Amino acid sequence: MKALMNMAMVSCKQAAFFQTKKSFNDLSLIDGLKLKMHERVCGACKTLGKDSALIDEAVNKILAQKNLQNLKLSEEQRNRILEAIK
Amino acid sequence: MSAAANLNSHQSIAAWFAEYGDDMYSWANYKTSSKETAEDLVQDTMLSAYKSFEKYQAESNPKTWLFTILNNKIIDFYRSSNTQKSFNESELRGNAVEDDNFDNNGVFSKVQQPLWGNTEQHLLDNPEFLSVLNECIENLPPNWRNVMVNKYIHHKKGSLICKELGITSSNLWQMAHRAKLQLKSCLDLNWKTE
């Protein structure tokens, strides 16, 4: 039982790493369970997990917006590029 | 190229640049999340277009032709961003980020303050919050940013990203993980809820 507990215990560092893998849908079942157990007893990791999920969503939104963004090259940038292709 | 043809190609390229430059810049910025990189890529594209002007066939659409070159430049950019030097640099920064967040036992070295209470939707619609996060993304080391951008805009699976960026999967996890920690630290520092 103790050996089993030891196997199930992961550090916060490890748990945070699992959270990232989870966001890529690439976390194994066992590691997923370890993460769940850890988050149940560790408030800090639970917080980070929530933050991490929200950062995911926000990054997604920002990058999607960039697709619709019409940027304009400044006069200075235009001149720099024109100079380079002379 | 004769002098006349040379002049002709230069005029065409300059005219195309005037017409499509902003579109190319916007696209490159979307694909790399870095205005600086985007500008370099547009410049490289125009230079390549000028040099290989004789390969351009008059009946094809110049915009399509330029975007083909630009997309190849973007792929090259991703491949070349994983040099040993950039890897070493991001390794150093990565260790710093981890040391900053965890102690030797792998326990958080500072209290984790949530970025938000129960106001998640509100934050996602908050332009100020998004603009702070955008700054944070643009300030990530290039390799880490590439991993993030590839994940989010292309919704690619880990294995595919590894192939395109020419990195191993353990590298990918490590970079993605550190990028995430860095974004969180950056938000903790720059985003004030009050």
Structure tokens at A63: 């990058």
Looking at the predicted structure, is the pLDDT value of residue B31 above 90? no
Please name the member of B23, B30, B114 whose beta carbon is closest to the beta carbon of A50. Answer: B114
Single pTM value for the model: 0.76
ipTM of this complex prediction, to 2 decimal places: 0.79
**Cα–Cα distance measured from residue B24 to residue B4, given in angstroms and rounded to the nearest whole number:** 28
CB contact at 8 A, B9 and B50:
yes
Q: Tell me which DSSP letter residue B52 carries.
A: T
Nearest chain B Cα to A86, which residue?
Answer: B10
Q: What percent of chain B has pLDDT over 90?
A: 23
B19: which residues sit within 8 A by CB, 6+ positions away?
Answer: B63
Q: What number is the average pLDDT over the span B70-97?
A: 80
B34: which residues sit within 8 A by CB, 6+ positions away?
Answer: B138, B142, B145
Instruction: Collapse the DSSP code of B108 into the 3-class scheme (helix H, G, I; strand E, B; otherwise coil) and give the result.
Output: strand
Let me know the angle formed at the C-alpha of A54 by A51 and B131, rounded to the nearest 5 degrees: 105
B-chain residues near A86 (CB < 8 A)? 10
CB contact under 8 A, A73 and B42: yes
Looking at the predicted structure, is the pLDDT value of residue B129 above 70? yes
Mean pLDDT of chain B: 83
CB contact under 8 A, B106 and A54: no
pLDDT score for A66 = 78
A76: contact with B, CB 8 A cutoff = no
A-chain residues near B33 (CB < 8 A)? 63, 66
Looking at the predicted structure, is the pLDDT value of residue B194 above 80? no
